[in-house]
Amino acid sequence: MAVGARSGHDEPEERPQRSGGSFPPGSGPSGPGSSGTGPVDSGHPGRPVGGLPPEVPPADGGHAAGGGSGHGGTPEEDGEPGDEGRSGGRKRQRSFWKELPLLIGIALVLALLIKTFLVQAFSIPSDSMMNTLQRGDRVLVDKLTPWFGSEPERGEVVVFNDPGGWLESQSVPEPNALQTVLSAIGLMPSAKEQDLIKRVIAVGGDTVSCKRGGKVVVNGKPLNEESYIYPGSTPCDDQPFGPIKVPEGRIWVMGDNRQNSLDSRYHQELPGNGTVANDKVVGRAIVVAWPVTRWATLPVPGTFEQQGLAAAATAAAPGALGLAGAIPLVLWRRRTRRTAGH
């Protein structure tokens, strides 16, 4: 039989209506003569279009096909207990208490690296730097720049190791329990390190002096020190000195509380005549970090920026540069004259 041929009924064939339409009894796509391509037969609910078999119900009493767990997914997706061993799913997270020793170890390593190469905290044990620094203050010291060849400059507050003999007559305070723990991990200096903190007044090549009743003079320039020395202190009335020529690679240091500071003035009988070698300097104190009520930076006072202060120390520089430039010129002229004479 050809596709679309009549099924033998005499009634005229009707065109199938759109889905949702009604058909007379005995006619339409499901009746005799139907081609089987119409919408769902109203007399056979659930039969699909085109004569396909109806949807197969779940074989396990309502569970979707292929879903053995009853949730419509695989065991790995459902994350049921005990599935890790069967299916190789996600591993259980490590306990916090098992990770804690690792975290502590990493923190200690970082603290030691920071203390060794970057910044270290120091406690102020005396009154020699009042009022800039008071007893019990905690300062942070920059230890990074010296690794790149930076040297102490005039006006900076620096921490340095005992050059030898400076602390022999002074008693070292016993550290408390907190300082003992912090020094053990590198967050605080050990009391055995014998460190001091003073202000740099002169550097290598400078000439420094101070007469009773006068001011500290560096390279012929008097220093105006009212902004940082302890109120009521005199620049050097308790111990005048100089003039002293500071050797290259060394510094002359003084406390801001001049009448309560055993600084360079009081150690001129030792090697170096009271000066400190640059390689003894731990670093520059840059900020008062504790207590928070005294938080402050430690900049270089303006008196050390006055024009001509470093003139004496650098007076030889222009002459050296001129000589370096003149030598090639002289050699070139001599060679030119010799060539012209031949």
Task: Give pLDDT tens digits for 63-90.
Answer: 443 444 444 444 444 444 444 444 455 5
Active site residue 198: yes
What's the confidence (pLDDT) of residue 194? 80
Alpha-carbon distance 229 to 326, whole Å? 47
Specify the residue for token string 């400076």: 166
What's the confidence (pLDDT) of residue 182? 66
Q: What is the pLDDT of residues 252-309, one digit of tens each?
A: 999 999 999 999 999 999 999 999 999 999 999 999 999 999 999 999 999 999 988 8
Active-site choice (123, 126, 128, 264): 128
Active-site choice (115, 198, 221, 280): 198
Instruction: Report whether the peptide linkage leading into residue 131 is cis, meaning its omega lies within 30 degrees of zero.
Output: yes
Query: What are the φ and ψ backbone dihedral angles of 159, each rounded to 5 degrees?
Result: -105, 135
Active site residue 128: yes
What's the confidence (pLDDT) of residue 119? 83
Whether residue 267 contacts residue 166, with contact meaning beta carbons closer than 8 Å, is answered with yes
Strand ranges inside the chain, DSSP E = 119-123, 138-142, 157-161, 195-203, 207-210, 216-218, 221-222, 241-245, 250-254, 276-277, 281-290, 296-297
What's the confidence (pLDDT) of residue 109? 72
What's the confidence (pLDDT) of residue 68? 41
pTM confidence score: 0.59
Taking the chain (342 residues) in runs of 10, the rounded mean pLDDT of each run is 42 47 45 42 44 48 42 45 50 74 76 69 92 94 82 96 82 66 62 83 97 96 96 96 96 97 95 94 94 94 91 46 55 60 54
* ∠ Cα 249 252 255 (to 5°): 145
Q: How many CB atoms lie within 10 A of CB 284?
A: 22
